[in-house]
């Protein structure tokens, strides 16, 4: 039979709370008594109180949950996600805490259960499809949270960028180069959307908030030069991967008039677009491509993109959880972005 805390207490002749204090509050015991308790526990094979149960009893788990709507492997393979998590991890180390990665199932009920069952002290909502439902579940648990997108509620804490304005900046760059026939590329633009061009009645119909804001920013810039939303080609990739981006762009071959530029909602998708266009050769190689994030490979590929501070976003989000400011407005941080122009974008090709 597995030895228990009670058994150790009886063997030493002390109370169970005294044995517990030997592990969690050693300053409450004399050096001799604590040594006797730990020696007896070791001889009996008792490993010590369960750390999770002990943490929950004192209302502190020592972990922050990071929520995202992707497979667990996404956290280790997506370049921007890795940068973001690096920033969170650096802050967690300084505060003696750890991270719990919580991938959210697509169905709201499953996502809610994942949030309810996570043993954490608070949450960082990295990307969540049904964000309002997720936040309601977190509020129901009475736990603090920080999101990575601006929130309308005054008391909510968030660290983000102006997604729409940042996307508009790169679209204005292409519009200024003369591009009017363009394709906008996002992952899973609509639920269960097929790979390739699709009809989207209105940008408001796009369910994922980040994709929606970036597509809206692209559309703003082209509307300003007379290109309405229905005139834009919308491409949906089955996931935010390089292969998915390439597959979506290959579908442009079915169009009678292919676009002269592709604006991707992420660098990973943009790199896939460059792969597909390079393989196609000929006029396709002249199509301009832009991305978003400025991951390390973007510079190597000469990708024009929007730079946002990934590590800083993660660090700032974690700090708002570990050390929340007294002033509510200080808990809302808008980070800067920068348009980085490289060789993947150029003037409208002459016919």
Any idea what the Cα angle at residue 137 is, between residues 133 and 143, rounded to 5°?
A: 135
In sequence order, which ranges of the chain are alpha helices (DSSP H)?
5-12, 16-24, 31-44, 51-57, 74-77, 79-94, 108-117, 131-141, 163-176, 209-223, 242-250, 267-280, 296-301, 310-322
- 282-290 average pLDDT score: 86
* pLDDT for position 285: 78
> From CA 18, how far away is CA 26, in angstroms rounded?
9
| Domain boundaries 63-161+310-334, CATH class | alpha beta
Structure tokens at 314: 């993660």
Counting Cα atoms < 13 Å in the Cβ hemisphere of 89 gives 10
The structural architecture, per CATH, of the domain 163-307 is 3-Layer(aba) Sandwich (3.40)
Domains 63-161+310-334 and 163-307 share a fold: yes
Is the predicted pLDDT of residue 198 greater than 90, yes or no?
A: no
pLDDT class for 49, splitting at 50, 70, 90?
A: low
> From CA 107, how far away is CA 165, in angstroms rounded?
31
Query: Could you tell me which residues are beta bridge partners of residue 263?
Result: 184, 290
Is the predicted pLDDT of residue 55 greater than 70, yes or no?
A: no
* pLDDT for position 197: 84
**pLDDT tens, 96-147?**
999 999 998 878 888 888 988 898 989 999 987 667 888 888 888 888 999 9
Cβ 316 vs Cβ 88: under 8 Å:
no
CA 180 vs. chain centroid, Å, equals 32
Over pLDDT 90: what percentage of the chain? 57
**pLDDT tens, 290-348?**
999 999 999 999 999 999 999 999 999 999 999 888 787 789 999 999 999 999 999 99
> From CA 172, how far away is CA 30, in angstroms rounded?
71
- 240-244 average pLDDT score: 94
* pLDDT for position 52: 47
Domain boundaries, the chain: 63-161+310-334, 163-307
> From CA 274, how far away is CA 37, in angstroms rounded?
65
């Amino acid at each position: 039979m597995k030895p228990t805390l009670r058994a150790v207490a009886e063997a030493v002749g002390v109370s169970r709370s005294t044995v517990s204090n030997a592990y969690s509050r050693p300053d409450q015991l004399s050096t001799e008594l604590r040594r006797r308790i730990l020696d007896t526990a070791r001889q009996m094979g008792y490993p010590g109180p369960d750390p999770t149960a002990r943490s929950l009893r004192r209302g502190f788990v020592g972990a922050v949950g990071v929520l995202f709507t992707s497979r667990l492997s996404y956290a280790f393979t997506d370049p921007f996600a890795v940068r973001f998590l690096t920033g969170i991890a650096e802050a967690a180390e300084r505060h003696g805490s750890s991270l719990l990665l919580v991938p959210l199932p697509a169905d709201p009920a499953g996502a809610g259960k994942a949030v309810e069952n996570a043993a954490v002290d608070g949450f960082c909502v990295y990307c969540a499809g049904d964000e309002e439902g997720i936040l309601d579940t977190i509020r129901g648990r009475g736990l603090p949270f920080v999101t990575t997108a601006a929130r309308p509620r005054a008391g909510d804490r968030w660290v983000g960028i102006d997604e729409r304005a940042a996307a508009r900046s790169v679209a204005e760059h292409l519009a200024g180069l003369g591009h009017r026939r363009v394709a906008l590329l996002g992952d899973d633009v609509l639920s269960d959307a097929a790979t390739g061009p699709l009809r989207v009645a209105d940008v408001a119909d796009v369910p994922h908030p980040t994709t929606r804001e970036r597509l809206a920013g692209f559309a703003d810039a082209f509307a300003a030069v007379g290109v309405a939303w229905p005139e834009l080609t919308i491409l949906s990739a089955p996931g935010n991967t390089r292969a998915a981006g390439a597959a979506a762009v290959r579908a442009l071959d079915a169009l009678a008039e292919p676009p002269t530029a592709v604006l991707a909602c992420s660098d990973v998708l943009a790199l896939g677009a460059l792969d597909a266009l390079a393989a196609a050769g000929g006029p396709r190689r002249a199509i301009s491509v832009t991305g978003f994030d400025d991951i390390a490979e973007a510079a190597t590929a000469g990708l024009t993109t929007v730079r946002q501070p990934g590590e800083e976003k993660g660090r700032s989000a974690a700090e708002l959880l570990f050390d929340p400011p007294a002033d509510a407005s200080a808990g809302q941080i808008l980070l800067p972005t920068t348009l980085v122009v490289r060789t993947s974008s150029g003037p409208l090709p002459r016919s």
